[in-house]
Structure 1
């Protein structure tokens, strides 16, 4: 598990070849892309179309067709929709979007999203930036565009899409209990510019008013607290198990041992106790928004 890390896989290309390269280390992604590619190729050949002719009909190059059919490229949804229409597949190709929807995101993000989707409780302390579950699209894009070595624009968009997909945790029924503690500094840094910061603050206020969400701010006036070693994230599941991670504990490894989890929970509990209350925090965010 990664604490708010929507990593992207290098090797993606930009708009000239829509889609994402398959990560060779992602076994499930490789297998799924290969299966989808074979199906598209079978439909194309059954229709009596050459790869170049098919590519022209759906608005892409012959090289991209071969990459998708060879399982080396994850096609975008619009590629599959157009292919279904051109090949007269009656929805059988378009329905492959469900399989590709998950594979399009990096494996680390998929694993994290799966755990967040199963969790009945999520506790997060974000020490430097706004946590991924709380980020707006503009905020996430600005962060990814600032990475070094620089990502391609395709990689940036893939990372943004992956992070936004994790927001589904807010729509779950029954709703999980979500608690966040954000450092004050993360509310003031204008990542992406002032308009993006305002949108981010408005998003925090929106989420902070949800009944299953507790959002707190750790004010800068707090001289020291147990989160000085970095982020903390603890996810608890319905079967009584849990997993947690913090770069400042256990060499940053995910842990599930109850004794180790108790240490993370102790630190997180003390952080929450020293932060502003949820009501005070929302008032504080409104004040920062008014100053922005």
Structure 2
């Protein structure tokens, strides 16, 4: 088994280990300056521009400062709103190549797991305490990182959020991997980030649960038996490799490659799915909670 210091879903407890943006930072800052200049020439504030392109003001600020990698969708929206005449969208391919070359997405300690996750053919996740990283909204992820102890700087928080959002690209690829999540019902009641962030996260769960090829189940808190009381874990099958497990406890993340340990986690996950609400029951529960908010 391999050990990965830090932990991934709940945030890095060692803030000195930051993502390596050094190789592409000047490139990203240059693109951010271009967007800022075009925005100002158009007479738009960050808040007004964010509303026009459909993104948060904080994200636009991070992109303009070169702290966040602009996705193709943002570049396309910026082209339309700012009438950039192809200047911004022309950088999309260069950004993708730069990201691949510099490995900007994840901190050093998390890259081993993140690399395997990115090429997974199957991914199954039991989450006992908070929303799975792949399903977190941007604001929910930001709330998770902001509550880390010791506190992270705002720049580090935004870097971590960007990495988490980039991981979610795996959900949009085709052919789609096989995904399933079992989430403890207590997660639905935990209002991390406040009411608005909490509601948006519940809506995100509904969106995922209604997506073809993705299965989301809720484990009721009133079950007399729960096979996941030892904590959260993941099972994933990378392309061309055997199924692997992943565990996190406080500041330690651990890849499980021993066949017997993986078999036991697999059996445990199967029991969790049997004990949890069905998919439809789970979605109905979330819809009911949204209706009561």
Cα deviation 1:161-180 (Å, max 9, x = unaligned)? 11111111111111001000
Higher RCO by CA contacts (8 Å cutoff, separation 6 or greater): 2
Larger radius of gyration: 1
**Distance apart, 1:5 and its partner CA:** 4.7
Question: Are 2:113 and 1:108 aligned?
Answer: no
RMSD of aligned Cα (Å) = 3.4
Tell whether 2:35 aligns with 1:7: no
Task: Report if aligned partners of 1:6, 1:108 keep a CA contact under 8 Å in 2.
Answer: no
Q: Secondary structure at the match of 1:216?
A: strand
Superposed CA deviations along residues 167-213 of structure 1, whole A, max 9, x for unmatched, are 11111111001000011110111111111111101111001111110
Consecutive unaligned residues in structure 1, runs of 5 or more: 12-20, 24-28, 41-58, 60-73, 79-90
Question: Deviations along 1:84-132, whole A, 9 cap, x unmatched?
Answer: xxxxxxx99x936732463253123443332222111101000011110
Q: Judging changes above 3 Å, is the alpha-carbon distance between structure 1 residues 3 and 179 closer, same or farther for their aligned structure 2 residues?
A: farther
Q: What TM-score do you get using the length of structure 2 for normalisation?
A: 0.69
TM-score, normalised by the number of residues in structure 1: 0.69
Q: Does 1:134 align with 2:139?
A: no
The structure-2 alpha-carbon separation of the partners of 1:22 and 1:208, relative to structure 1 and needing over 3 Å to count, comes to closer
What runs of 5+ residues in structure 2 fail to find an aligned partner?
Answer: 28-35, 37-64, 70-89
Match of 2:227 in 1: 226
Distance 2:68 2:287 in 1: 39
1:269 corresponds in structure 2 to 270
Change (3 A) 1:271 1:290: same
- Residue 255 of structure 2 aligns to a residue whose secondary structure is coil
| Residues matched between the structures, number | 232
Equivalent residues in 2 for 1:119-158, closer than 5 Å: 119-158=120-159
In the TM superposition, residue 215 of structure 1 has moved relative to its aligned partner by: 0.1
